[in-house]
Amino acid sequence: YLFTIIWTMRSIIIAKVSNHLSAAPSWFSWVYPKLFSLKSPAMQSIDYRDKSYGVLSLHPSHKEAITNAWTTLREVAIVSTVVILTTSLLMVFAMNIVIRPSRKIEKSIRALSNDLSGPPVPDFRINEWQSISLAINDFVQRLRLAQQKNQSLAEQLVRVQEDERRHISRELHDDLGQSLTGMLALSSLLTIKAQKSSPELAETAEKLTVTAQEMMNQMRNILFSLRLTDSLLHSGLDNSLHRLIHHWKARINSPIQLQYHNKAELSKLPESVQLNVFRVIQECLHNIYKHSDATQASVEISASPTKQQLHIIIMDNGTIEQLDFVSNPGFGISGIFERVAMLDGKIDFAIASPHGLVINVTIPIISSHSTTK
């Protein structure tokens, strides 16, 4: 088939070209005699019975020879061009068929890099590509199992942490709380008795009372933070966040004006998601209170039903100018990273305009069944 195509194209092209290029061009007429010697005239004596009747002289046409050479060269060039073009087209077509699976594999890998739950790499007829497809799918499957195992371990770790928080809160309330209460009562009694007999001792006892009261308030704040998960299980994430904001304004006595806006149906989220979202927001607010020097802060929660994502934006107008803590996080920031990763989410930090910090958290919304599993 290839030979038939080439010969047909040759005939057509030669017929077309011959109508326009019958004579050799001037440059070829000049070059050809210099490269190839033209035949000299051929002479033959005409003799009959030992008698000469003349000489036959044949003079070759140099113009015709050059024209024939040009025609032959032109046909060879045309055939060579047709062969090269046809072969190139066939090679391009064949390479396209061979390389096409690599594009599908690249597309599948890019999709899987964003979401491991996406469709696997398709099958191919070519054995080499099929082997690569099977290897990639096997690797993705192992990665999914490892990710599920890590998520299960992370959820178990969170449950252990919450149990430990409850245990610590009980110990603080039962032991340290009673001790502080007794200390506060004794310091108050000592202040009353020493007011008449020893004013200096009374002043010291009063300072001791103030210190004990401050310790009591700090312990109550710690107990409130530790026990918030209990209220979370009973009243839901939104009510617990409202309690956290109220505690922020009323008991911590913070100079920061905090706003909270919720546009999502948080009660439908699985329990583990609510717990981790609450701890992430709590830790972010704690960092704002401790390190930002901000006067305003806000927490916004929204949901995207089409993308099945929960968006959390936490902003402040603090004095931060660089994001050094991202590359060298402390215990609190590391905990935020771990909880967001546990939910298969993403967290981004950015500098607000003109100053301050913006924290964007995106968490996929999954069903309670899959989370429980």
CA 303, distance to chain mean position in Å, is 21
pLDDT computed for residue 219 by the predictor: 82
Average pLDDT over residues 342-363: 88
Q: Tell me the per-residue pLDDT of 226-245, one tens digit each, with 9 for 90 and over.
A: 766 666 667 788 888 888 88
Between residues 81 and 232, the one the model is more confident about: 81
Between residues 233 and 269, the one the model is more confident about: 269
Domain ranges within the chain, ordered by starting residue: 2-114, 116-235, 254-373
Percent of the chain residues past pLDDT 70, beyond the cut: 85
The domain defined by 254-373 folds into: Heat Shock Protein 90 (3.30.565)
Q: How far apart are CA 34 and CA 32, in angstroms?
A: 5
pTM attached to this predicted model: 0.53
Enumerate residues 6+ apart whose C-beta is below 8 A from 114.
Answer: none
Cis peptide before 354 (omega within 30 of 0): yes
Q: Assign 185 a pLDDT band (cuts: 50, 70, 90).
A: confident
Whether the pLDDT of residue 346 is over 50: the answer is yes
Locate 228 and state its tokens: 């918030």
Q: Tell me the per-residue pLDDT of 58-76, one tens digit each, with 9 for 90 and over.
A: 766 677 777 778 888 887 8
Instruction: Identify each DSSP E strand in 123-271 by its residue range.
Output: 257-262
Whether the pLDDT of residue 113 is over 90: the answer is no
Q: How far apart are CA 185 and CA 179, in angstroms?
A: 10
Q: Tell me the per-residue pLDDT of 193-233, one tens digit each, with 9 for 90 and over.
A: 787 778 778 888 888 888 888 888 778 777 776 766 666 66
The mean pLDDT value of the chain amounts to 79
